[in-house]
Amino acid sequence: MPALSQTDPSSFSNPEDVLVEHIHLDLTVCFTKHTLSGSVQLKLKRVKPEAEFVVLDTRGITVTSVVDLESAEKLQYTLAEKVAVFGSKLTIRLTNRKTEHTIEITYETSPECSALQWLRPEQTAGKRQPYLFSQCEAIHCRSMIPCQDTPSVKAPYTAKIKAPSVVKVLMSALLEGSEKTEDGQMVHSFRQNQPMPSYLIAIVAGDIVSKEIGPRSKVWTEPELIEAAAYEFAETESMLQAGEGLLGPYVWGHYDLLVLPPSFPYGGMENPCLTFVTPTLLAGDRSLADVVAHEIAHSWTGNLVTNASWSDFWLNEGFTVFVERKIVSRLKDSEVYRQFLASRGWRILTETIKQLGAENKFTCLVPDMLGVDPDESFSSVPYEKGQAFLFYLEQLLGGPEVFEKYLRAYIDKFKGKSVTTADWKAFLLEYFNTEEDAGKLATVDWQGWMYEPGMPPQKPVYDTSLAENCEELRNRWLGLSDDQLTQFTLSDIEDFQPMQIEQFLSGFADHDPISCAKVKHMGEVYKLNTVTNAEIKFRWLQLCIQAQHEPIIDEALQFVSDQGRMKFVQPVYRDLYKWSASRQRAKDNFLAHRNEMHNITVAKLEKILDVKK
């Protein structure tokens, strides 16, 4: 493999020689060709005076020219052969000897650009206009823009985007204005003043409208969903304030939300100024808004303080889950609830490690990413092992009050920067430097937590009162025989929080399958067949498949066809594939829907279902 960057094994770029300091995009969206075309201007800073080349990441991009903007001189460049996943390294010979200067690259993306999904009008809720959205994290930005596609580099950006006037265009930036062009299209101008990594550049174009949900927040989505979305995310401002109370000022100006079409592969994506979320959050009762708390938390952990490489991904996600749970429990004014969520996280970690195998290198908190596709290694491990590590350290070092002061100091220290796990650890030791704290920190098994696969070396202590109710009810179901089921009634779960119902259902996975008579009865008394909360529905389907309750197959296939959130789609397909009664139908269903699905989801499902490309 050609030399990858010295600091980031997922990038070819050479920021240690020449650094991108500002990005300006001038692009046209073409819905018929499925391309973005135009140019990117990169303001470069020469870090090493003798540097002759700037090396950029690209994938599937056609470059037509590179010029030095000051002299208008054409620059020589070479586009290396494509390396799977990482793309083609673009090497540009610099002639301008100034420390700071700007180059312009004229290019076009390919219709297969992995960062973009192009939807036909029929694939949208309104079926009127086509739709385009991006997903750059982790290393897809290079398929949309030639850039230093490493989170160790941060730059502000501006953009001018030309698109048909029937679509609205938004980016992970503030909209400065829109103008009609001579050919009847529109040009929209955007500005992002905060330095940010390439994976946070985002674009959407479609038939979307907005509704105000707070003093600095709007929700955007197709007209069909706008009222439901505004209702669901009404707590956004309270969450922002809770975040500010914990970590300091929100620096990004607006915090808007975009509810995407159902094929969006993630629960949420923290694109600055405009979080992207899946429509599966629209439960109708605000019960899934914790995903918004998560994306809000990224405004500090991830977007302000950023992981320096994808090996340090836990610094983004583990921290964010930790802060998300603080925000959610502040809104509920319940530390017991935070402890419940954290213990539920430990459960998820156990489940994930069981599925991946305790020897699997991706179960390390800080995995070696050389030659690894970050989409491949993605799992709950950095989220839940990372949050467990912080939860454990918080308890060790004196509890929330003490630890929250540290969190704020951490943000203050590293805001605007990218950090490695070593930077993180050094600052922790520097902050907790009394003899007493140093003594406590000396007891931590750093090697085990950070670099060894499998479950962590220590389990934190959790308040288990909310989890116990779920377990008691589950044990009753497990203990009784099929002719004793009439004693169960809806009142069993009436006082449960939605996440407790989810916890009650998910725990059955640790036991032998229950009978079909039991799942049938449970579905009826607890009204699980009509549940609107996607997390509960997901666990319910898994339980029914585990019980081999055949009538559930249609329902499960419907669920994985109606939405493409990988967190749900992957495990449900995996379960359907394992069961002989549904294996072929799962394959057929995937093949029938594959063209409508997001490319990242397709790649994962091809492996799970053993379907050749």
Q: Work out what residue 291 binds among ligand BES, Zn ion, none; the CB cut-off runs from 5 to 8 Å by kind.
A: ligand BES
Q: Looking at 168-176, 317-325, 328-336, 393-401, which segment touches Zn ion (CB under 5 A)?
A: 317-325
Tokens linked to 383: 């989220």
Active site residue 383: yes
| Binding of residue 269 to ligand BES (CB under 6 A) | yes
Q: Which stretch binds ligand BES (CB under 6 A): 113-121, 253-261, 262-270, 542-550?
A: 262-270
The least CB distance from residue 181 to ligand BES, in Å, is: 34
Give min distance, CB of 426 to ligand BES, in A: 25
126 contacts 207 by C-beta, under 8 angstroms: yes
Give the whole-angstrom CA distance, residue 96 versus residue 155.
21
Q: Which one, 36 or 269, has the nearer CB to ligand BES?
A: 269
Helix (H, G, I), strand (E, B) or coil at 170: strand
The interface region with Zn ion, picked from 87-95, 312-320, 421-429, 515-523 by CB under 5 A, is: 312-320
For residues 267 and 261, give the distance between their C-alpha atoms in angstroms, rounded to a whole number: 12
**b/e sequence 295-329, b meaning 16+ C-beta within 10 Å:** bbbbbbbbbbbbbbbbbbbbbbbbbbbbbbbbbbb
> How many residues line the site for ligand BES (CB under 6 A)?
15
Quick note: the x/- pattern for Zn ion over 16-45, rule CB under 5 A, is ------------------------------
- Catalytic residue flag (residue 131): no
Q: Provide the token pair at 300.
A: 């500090």
Q: Is 296 left (phi over 0), alpha (psi -120 to 50) or beta?
A: alpha
Interaction of residue 137 with ligand BES, rule CB under 6 A: yes
Catalytic residue among 108, 137, 295, 384: 295
Give the Cα separation of 292 and 294 in Å (integer): 5
**Residue 179 Cβ, how far from ligand BES at the closest point, in Å?**
33
CB of 319 to Zn ion, least distance (A): 9
| 211/220 Cα distance (integer angstroms) | 7
66 neighbors 103 (Cβ within 8 angstroms): yes
Query: Which of ligand BES, Zn ion, none does 138 bind, CB closer than 5 to 8 A by kind?
Result: ligand BES
Residue 268, interface with ligand BES (CB under 6 A)?
yes
Instruction: Report, in Å, the least distance between residue 81 CB and ligand BES.
Output: 26
**What's the gap between Cα 345 and its chain centre?**
17
Residue 413 contact, options Zn ion, ligand BES, none, Cβ 5-8 Å cut-off depending on partner type: none
Which residue type does 418 have? S
Residue with tokens 């979320």: 277
Residue 197 sits at φ, ψ, to 5 deg, of -70, 160
Distance in angstroms (rounded) separating the CA atoms of residues 457 and 446: 9
Task: Examine residue 295 and tell whether it contacts ligand BES (CB under 6 A).
Answer: yes
Q: Which of 104/351 has CB closer to ligand BES?
A: 351
Judged by beta carbon, residue 149 or residue 317, the one nearer ligand BES is 317
267 scored as a contact of ligand BES (CB under 6 A): yes
Instruction: Estimate the share of the chain in helix, then strand, then coil, as percent rounded to the nearest 5.
Output: 40, 20, 35
Nearest-approach distance from CB 531 to ligand BES, in angstroms:
19
Stretch that binds Zn ion, among 47-55, 83-91, 320-328, 402-410 (CB under 5 A): 320-328
Whether the Cβ atoms of residue 192 and residue 158 lie closer than 8 Å to each other: yes
Give me the least distance between CB of 66 and ligand BES, in Å please: 30
Strand residues in 165-265 grouped as ranges (E)? 168-171, 174-180, 185-196, 203-206, 209-214, 217-221, 256-259
Q: Is there binding between residue 567 and ligand BES (CB under 6 A)? A: yes
Complex with Zn ion: residue 317 or 492, whichever CB lies closer? 317
Catalytic residues: 295, 383
Give the interface with ligand BES as residue ranges (CB under 6 A): 137-138, 266-270, 291, 294-295, 298, 317, 378, 383, 567
Give the interface with Zn ion as residue ranges (CB under 5 A): 317, 320
